[in-house]
């Protein structure tokens, strides 16, 4: 059934009221709420099964990205992040985009790549020929390690051979890399890909007389891209006493800058990943894999470039993002971690593909909020108000005092811990 992500005044509610609202909307039960309140967080026993040398668990704030509308459907996005402004930025940007008709998004099939590195194979052309000729046998062997994936409609679909004129080995041979093209369905896929890559290695050695070294997935998941776009009438951008044209111009300039300069592109993309990583952590995704894929993809033409671009066309600001998105609805901690269970209930996505579209839109929203401020009044104005709260807490403020001290710091135009201590001292006297 439909749900709105446009929750006016949500940020003004107490946490208890927010929980009530979520319960009403999503039918969260006592256990879910206990999870959100940290009462039944990840149990030490479970943590001890998840990683080695476990000594406890670690918490992060969980916020809700609001207002997202993607392909006509509303999404509330749980975001686990320690940095202030990230959740606000996504929600704010999504509100503007929503008024302009929302995000459009799409994503590729879940096609991943497993790599097998072959050496001592003799003549590269001959080795390639033999591997290609044995394609059906290789596919069958790869799939024999995971028949259930084939039953689901996934599994190893193709074999590609790459000869790379890269660093010469001791025998002067070029690199020969075999790619297994694998449909991982609803899984991110690392484990099943690695199993298949290891599984076919002996046959590749047999076919070529060579020796296999590495057998592992590639995190440059460039066959599994997600894309999102938005189109905002320029006049809707007017703010800070500036006309929409000026804001749009600033956003376009930010895009130009990032396209031309890796020093800027790195920061541009960091902002995008602020949103995506936060959502990924909450949803139990391997965010290092997403990061690795994003940055490698950003560099695909040899220069590190922005993952999103902005331009003005027919009186509209148009934003686009495209990046690899290797996500799962199963696997890893997804069905194990109780916090992820609640996040998934809130997200209400039905497939890894749908999740990847949500993440792409979150990245674009985050980026929109950043470049909108950067290209006009700068980000410190907005950031400082939130940063001031952290400074107030650091200086010792608690409860109602946090907001009070933060406001005084901003008014004083001097958001520093020592200033906060001064204010606290003067108020406690």
Residue 189 engages ligand NDP in binding (rule: CB under 6 A): yes
| Minimum CB–partner distance for residue 188 and ligand NDP (Å) | 4
Contact pick of 78, 114, 324, 332 for ligand NDP (by CB under 6 A)? 332
> Residue 20 catalytic?
no
> Residue 205 catalytic?
no
| Minimum CB–partner distance for residue 286 and ligand NDP (Å) | 4
Residue 157 engages ligand NDP in binding (rule: CB under 6 A): no
Instruction: Give 114 or 275: the residue with its C-beta nearer to ligand NDP.
Output: 114
| Minimum CB–partner distance for residue 166 and ligand NDP (Å) | 20
**Look-up of token digits 């927010």:** 18
Q: How would you class 30 by CB atoms within 10 Å of its CB: exposed for 0-12, middle for 13-18, buried for 19 or more?
A: exposed
Applying CB under 6 A, which part among 42-50, 118-126, 130-138, 142-150 lies near ligand NDP?
A: 142-150
Given a contact cutoff of 8 angstroms between Cβ atoms, the answer to whether 386 and 84 are in contact is: yes
> Residue 270 catalytic?
yes
Q: Which of these is catalytic: 19, 21, 383, 416?
A: 383
90-129 footprint of ligand NDP as x/- string (CB under 6 A): ----------------------------------------
Contact pick of 116, 187, 204, 290 for ligand NDP (by CB under 6 A)? 187
Could you tell me which of 59, 35, 80 has the C-alpha nearest to residue 341?
A: 35
| Minimum CB–partner distance for residue 151 and ligand NDP (Å) | 8
Q: Which residues of 61-92 are buried (b: 16+ CB within 10 A; e: fewer)?
A: ebbbbbbbbbeebbbbbbbbbebbbbbbbbbb
Residue 190 engages ligand NDP in binding (rule: CB under 6 A): yes
Q: Which of these is catalytic: 74, 173, 249, 286?
A: 286
Total residues contacting ligand NDP by CB under 6 A comes to 21
Residue 207 engages ligand NDP in binding (rule: CB under 6 A): no
Show the CA angle centred on residue 125, arms to residues 119 and 126, nearest 5°. 80
Q: Which of these is catalytic: 11, 135, 211, 270?
A: 270
Contact pick of 188, 347, 361, 388 for ligand NDP (by CB under 6 A)? 188
Contact pick of 148, 206, 380, 394 for ligand NDP (by CB under 6 A)? 148
Instruction: Give 144 or 191: the residue with its C-beta nearer to ligand NDP.
Output: 191
Residue 331 engages ligand NDP in binding (rule: CB under 6 A): yes
Angle in degrees, 0-180, between the axes of helices 124-133 and 190-208, rounded to the nearest 10? 120
> Residue 316 catalytic?
no
Which of the residues are catalytic? 83, 270, 286, 383
Residues in touch with ligand NDP (CB under 6 A):
146, 148-149, 152, 184-192, 217, 219, 286, 289, 328, 330-332
């Amino acid at each position: 059934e439909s749900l709105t992500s446009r929750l006016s005044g949500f940020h003004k509610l107490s946490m208890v009221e927010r929980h009530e609202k979520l319960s009403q909307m999503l039918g969260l039960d006592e256990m879910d709420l206990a999870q959100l309140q940290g009462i039944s967080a990840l149990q030490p026993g479970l943590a001890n099964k998840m990683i080695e040398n476990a000594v406890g668990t670690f918490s992060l704030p969980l916020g809700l990205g609001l207002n997202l509308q993607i392909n006509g459907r509303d999404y509330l996005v749980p975001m686990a992040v320690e940095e202030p402004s990230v959740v606000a930025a996504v929600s704010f940007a999504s509100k503007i985009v929503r008024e302009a008709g929302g995000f459009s998004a799409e994503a590729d099939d879940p096609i991943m790549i497993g790599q097998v590195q072959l050496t001592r194979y003799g003549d590269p052309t001959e080795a390639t020929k033999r591997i290609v000729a044995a394609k059906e046998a290789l596919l069958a062997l790869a799939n024999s390690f995971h028949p259930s994936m084939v039953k689901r409609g996934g599994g190893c679909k193709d074999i590609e051979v790459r000869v790379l004129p890269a660093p010469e080995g001791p025998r002067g041979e070029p690199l020969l890399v075999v790619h297994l093209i694998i449909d991982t369905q609803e899984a991110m896929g690392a484990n099943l890909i690695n199993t298949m890559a290891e599984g076919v290695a002996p046959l590749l050695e047999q076919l070529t007389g060579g020796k296999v070294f590495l057998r592992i997935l590639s995190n440059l998941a460039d066959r599994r891209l997600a894309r999102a776009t938005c189109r905002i009438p320029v006049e809707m951008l007017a703010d800070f006493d500036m006309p929409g044209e000026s804001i749009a111009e600033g956003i376009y300039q930010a895009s130009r800058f990032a396209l031309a300069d890796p020093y800027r592109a790195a920061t541009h993309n960091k902002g995008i990943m602020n949103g995506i990583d936060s959502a990924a952590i909450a949803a139990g995704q391997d965010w290092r894999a997403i990061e690795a894929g994003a940055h490698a993809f950003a560099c695909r033409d040899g220069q590190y470039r922005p993952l999103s671009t902005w331009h003005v066309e027919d009186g509209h600001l148009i934003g686009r993002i495209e990046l690899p998105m290797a996500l799962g609805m199963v696997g890893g901690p997804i069905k194990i971690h109780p916090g992820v269970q609640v996040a998934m209930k809130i997200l209400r996505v039905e497939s890894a593909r749908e999740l990847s579209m949500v993440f792409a839109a979150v990245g674009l929203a985050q980026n929109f909020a950043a470049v909108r401020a950067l290209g006009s009044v700068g980000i410190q104005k907005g950031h400082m108000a939130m940063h001031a709260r952290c400074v107030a807490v650091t200086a010792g403020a608690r409860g109602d005092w946090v907001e009070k001290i933060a406001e005084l710091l901003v008014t004083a135009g001097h958001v520093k811990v020592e200033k906060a201590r001064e204010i606290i001292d003067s108020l406690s006297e």
